[in-house]
A and B are shown apart, each in its own frame.
Chain A
Amino acid sequence: MSSKDSPTPTHPLAHPSPPRVFTIVFGLFFGNPNGFNSYSNFTIIGTCVGSIFFMLVLSTSRWKSCAQHRPDTSEESDGSGNGILAMNQAAIAGFFITMVPSLIFQLAYFIPAGHGTFVHWLSSQIMSGLAVAYFSYDTIQIETRVMADRYLDGVVLFYSDFLTVVLCGCCIAAFSGG
């Protein structure tokens, strides 16, 4: 069969004018200055981005000591003496690594400029920590559900699973009288 007979499949992301709905609405919701006067939206998402970056680096690198300390865990080690970090360990490490530059940024820029206090930073870190914990937990769950070639579905699942978390939060708020 010639190449002309088989039409080249168009990748969804290569659509000429993809409706960038979700990311824009997500950005507008979190970028609303009325809801975040202290720039904590920037701190929360920035810390999440940093944590996920380190989570990505740490959880996809081979660690000699990981296999030495945990030789019996076949899921994290290929038996050659090298292993990869578990997602939760990578998430915790990534979060604490990101916390340092975040604190420096807050002390050096936001607090002197009057954009929030140390308590704002602390509450932002709690929110970021919850988000990073959610992402790491959901990554583990996604790995048990999807096949290796469906990584794009995994990204969709991060947000579609988040709806369940939002609904649970709404239910808790409603039953708490809020």
Chain B
Amino acid sequence: MQNPLNAHTPDHYRRPTVALNKLKDTVSQKKLDGKKVTVGDKIQARVANGLEAARSHGVLPDRAVADIANMANSSDAASNPFAVSAAGIEIRMQFRRKLLSLLLLNLTCVLMIISFIQVTPVVREYITTNRYFGFFSFTGFLICLLVLNLVHDKAPWNYLMLV
């Protein structure tokens, strides 16, 4: 039996190829109509080419390609019918529960590390006397954020980077 949601849902939300073509067609359609192609449109076309290359090399999974392509297409932004915001109240509650629980767990681990440093005199003394520690920890934090940003769509590297 066909899912009634799928019957009324545009294909580009489910199929990466359709989503990529839709992204590319924005530019070609404007050229055909004689409209001015903006810098944003050219960026969209480049994003589409990049996503296509990433998909063909197996760097990005199909679902991630479809999601990114739909996000990059400004006309479809925030209108994904498969997104949590479009789901029912029960699904949204479950999603929030999982998402915020994981964030809470992550921040609790950070709090435990902070507490360990603050209440252990040897560790605290070592860090206080080592004047380069602050620089290295800040640089490491920024590098980790950067790497996390680069791999945030590449499972399992994003999860391994986060934990």
A68 to B146, CA, bound (A): 45
Known A75-B85, A153-B152: A12·B160 in contact at CB below 8 Å = yes
- B115 near A42 with CB under 8 A, answer yes
Report the interface size for chain B: residues with CB under 8 A from the other chain.
Answer: 66
Report the interface size for chain A: residues with CB under 8 A from the other chain.
Answer: 64
Chain B residue contacts of A24, Cβ below 8 A: 113
Q: 1/0 contact trace for A29-59 toward B, CB 8 Å?
A: 1111111000101100110110011011001
Q: 1/0 contact trace for A158-171 toward B, CB 8 Å?
A: 11101100100000
Chain B residue contacts of A53, Cβ below 8 A: 104
A35 to B112, CA, bound (A): 18
Of A35, A56, A157, which is within 8 A of B101 by CB?
Answer: A56
Give, as a whole number of angstroms, the nearest-CB distance from B156 to chain A. 3
Chain A residue contacts of B111, Cβ below 8 A: 42, 45-46, 49
Of B92, B97, B103, B155, which is within 8 A of A52 by CB?
Answer: B103
Known A31-B118, A151-B95: A143·B107 in contact at CB below 8 Å = no
Chain A residue contacts of B138, Cβ below 8 A: 29
A20 to B163, CA, bound (A): 5
- B80 near A27 with CB under 8 A, answer no
User: Within 8 Å of chain A (Cβ to Cβ): is B60?
Assistant: no
A42 to B114, CA, bound (A): 7
User: Within 8 Å of chain B (Cβ to Cβ): is A129?
Assistant: no
Known A84-B89, A144-B83, A148-B84: A159·B99 in contact at CB below 8 Å = no
- B160 near A19 with CB under 8 A, answer yes
Chain B residue contacts of A77, Cβ below 8 A: 89
Q: 1/0 contact trace for B109-126 toward A, CB 8 Å?
A: 111111111100000100
Chain B residue contacts of A46, Cβ below 8 A: 111
A154 to B67, CA, bound (A): 13
User: Within 8 Å of chain B (Cβ to Cβ): is A142?
Assistant: yes
B residues within 8 Å of A by Cβ? Answer: 63, 67, 71, 78, 80, 82-85, 87-104, 106-118, 124, 127-128, 131, 133-134, 137-138, 140-142, 144-146, 148-149, 152-153, 155-156, 158-163
Known: A27-B112, A155-B102. 4 other contacts (CB 8 A): A12-B160, A145-B83, A151-B102, A153-B153
A residues within 8 Å of B by Cβ? Answer: 12-13, 15, 18-35, 39, 41-42, 45-46, 48-49, 52-53, 55-56, 59-60, 75-78, 83-84, 87, 135, 139-140, 142-148, 151-160, 162-163, 166
